[in-house]
Structure 1
Amino acid sequence: MADVAKHAGVSKSTVSQYLNQRYDYMGEKTKKRIELAIKELDYRPNIIARGLKQKSTMTIGVIVANILHVFSTQVIRAIEDFCNESNYHIIVCNADDDPVKEKRYIEMLRAKQVDGIIAFPTGGNIELYKGLLKDKYPVVFMDRVLSEVQIPTVLLDNEKASLLAVDHLVKNGYEKIGMITPPLSPYVTPRLERTNGYKKGLQKHNIPLNPNYLVNGEIPDIQAKMDQMLTQTDPPEALIALNDLVLFEILKYTKEQQIKIPEDLALIGIDEVSFASFYSPALTTIAQPAFEMGKKAAELLLERIKNKQTDTTSKIYRFEATLIKRESC
């Protein structure tokens, strides 16, 4: 910076003001001289040194559970958009729902001195998150509630999402309604809440729960599980896919088995997918406001970073799902 100042014939503080875009009392000629000096000297600010001096790297970490989910990528995009407007950068980490990977990423992000973290927590690092809270380190959770840790959380009203799906199917004359889910982990909030919403929806319409209609399994096993479900004596006539990855497997199976939607099997997916409107038939979905949710998480985190905010209670911010009616049911 001293070399740039000397080359431009200005003070170091003037160069600093230029680099931080504080132009209020800076003439155009001065700006041009500094710009030219930076170009001629091929000067690049030392971000690490600046971060040490300002005690901020203007960077946050985002740890997603599974980056293959459409919801995850949309949330990341919303966070990046909001942070970019505030001159923050983001580092994205994919934990694969693995607590060991999640722990490594948290430690790496702390080592890189990022100013805060937005996480889709696995539930396997509760003590580590408690330690972050004790250190007054800014953290916001997305999509999953950890009741043991007092951290603000942004997520969908998942029960209502399933209720919307059941209500729509019943309204269209279906009563034999099944649901296919990934494994029901106690810390993966959406899976538990959407399953509960499905059960409550059936109860609301006085439809008995058939345990053979509620199937869960790892994604590679979904098609085999679905085959068992649909080849039983009294199969369901409509299905709810708990998330987008389950929906993909259902669509693969119905195509391979030449099952017609909705003539042979009605279908609703929870989570909007990019091809839903032009798939044949167009797919009815329950959409999450992913961009609004990502923006809210980023707002909460930057607010905590700037105001050194440490809540003693964890506030949960719920967002409403939307039924998008199309042709699959």
Structure 2
Amino acid sequence: MKKVTIADVAQHANVSKSTVSQYLNNRFDYMREETKKRIEESIRELGYRPNIVARSLKQKSTTTIGVIVANILHTFSTQVIRAIEDTCHEADFHTIVCNADDDPEKERKYIEMLRAKQVDGIILLPTGDNAALYNEMQKEGYPIVFVDRTVPDVPIPSMLLDNKKAAGLGVQHFIDKGYTKIGIITNVIRNVTPRMERINGYKETMKANDLEIRDDYIKSLEVSRIKEGVRELLSLDDAPEAILAGNDLTLIEILKYVKEHNVKIPEDLAIIGIDDVSFASFYEPGLTIVAQPTFEIGKKAAEFLLNKIQKKEDQDEGLVFRFDPKLIIRESC
């Protein structure tokens, strides 16, 4: 079946090819309504589909960005993706989402694939282990923005939570409620920014309140071992009375243990989680959460990248944008 072209549409609508081109590119401010209607009807009747590849080559833009998340199972990741997609949609940009599973090799392959598809820029939740590749992209002037993490010696703009403050809010709330024996559990993802900063925030707040920092109260574990870690904590002779969950996946595993072993919250164990979860308000008892403004972070990342792609304004490299956490108090502490 013969492919319908702009020339076919122009002939059918009795206008020039340039007029059809202007219509397709939404440049019809001074176009008569009758002309617009004829072109629209011709496109529909002929079944015309624009050649996206040809248009991209001509405009030197695919109006597409790539988003590579570290782990799409995180509530944070899905909410950030939604904010990015909404922002890009408003700017008539498309998004391609990839899940790296915190695997540096998988991340590298996705970066190469997206660049081969000539996406205009990439928003990346970096594994941190491809520093040479990140720096190469930055030196080339390729538009890239980090989210949730920074990478040492890589001057790429990053949008992330004030993680120390987030952990500090949770620990301080425990202390204000009378708890002194406070543990923290995070899941192991090498030395990524949120995990390290949240542990440091925990330690700094404990120290500021003249409370003992015990190594056996601090656990960094694979997600599959978090329930075992809770058991180990609660089996200590001087077990913690409260636990700060380092992120949403950690919180879910802690709650699984609590349910399986009939641990009462907060009577037996007070719990606060960092990262909001959809069930926090109707879980019984309601879960106290340190939430981060995920939609604000995703929106800022998308706007920053789009400005970089469209060269709307000069932007310094290496900027780190920190976003404030919010303590949402419920019954779990």
TM-score class, shorter = over 0.9
Whether 1:155 and 2:160 are equivalent positions in the alignment is yes
TM-score (norm 1): 0.98
Equivalent residue runs for 1:1-80 within 5 Å? 1-80=6-85
Equivalent residue runs for 1:87-166 within 5 Å? 87-166=92-171
2:188 matched residue in structure 1 = 183
Residue identity (%): 61
What is the SS of the residue equivalent to 1:260? Answer: coil
1:279 matched residue in structure 2 = 283
Aligned length: 328
Shift of the alpha carbon at 1:43? 0.4
Regions of 4+ moved over 3 Å: 308-313
Contact kept? 2:102, 2:189, Cα under 8 Å = no
Contact kept? 1:142, 1:153, Cα under 8 Å = yes
Q: Distance in 1 between matches of 2:319 and 2:139?
A: 17
Match of 1:302 among 306, 314, 320: 306
**Bigger shift: residues 204-213 or 238-247:** 204-213
Superposed CA offset, 1:25-82 (max 9, x none)? 1111111111111111100001111000000000000000000000000000000000
Match of 1:215 among 213, 219, 227: 219
Contact kept? 2:85, 2:94, Cα under 8 Å = yes
What is the SS of the residue equivalent to 1:144? Answer: coil
Show structure 1 runs of 5+ residues with no match.
Answer: none
Shift of the alpha carbon at 1:169? 0.5
Q: Distance in 1 between matches of 2:316 and 2:169?
A: 34
Q: RMSD between aligned alpha carbons?
A: 1.1
> CA 1:84–1:313 in 2, change beyond 3 Å: closer, same or farther?
closer
> CA 1:53–1:327 in 2, change beyond 3 Å: closer, same or farther?
same
Shift of the alpha carbon at 1:313? 3.8
Whether 1:255 and 2:226 are equivalent positions in the alignment is no
Q: Distance in 1 between matches of 2:183 and 2:176?
A: 15
Superposed CA offset, 1:154-175 (max 9, x none)? 0000000011001100000000
TM-score (norm 2): 0.97
Letter in 2 for 1:179: I
Superposed CA offset, 1:73-131 (max 9, x none)? 00000000000000000000000000100000000000000000000011111111111
**Bigger shift: residues 23-32 or 51-60:** 23-32
Shift of the alpha carbon at 1:302? 0.5
2:91 matched residue in structure 1 = 86
Q: Distance in 2 between matches of 1:148 and 1:49?
A: 39
Letter in 2 for 1:286: V
Q: Distance in 2 between matches of 1:311 and 1:183?
A: 34
What is the SS of the residue equivalent to 1:146? Answer: coil
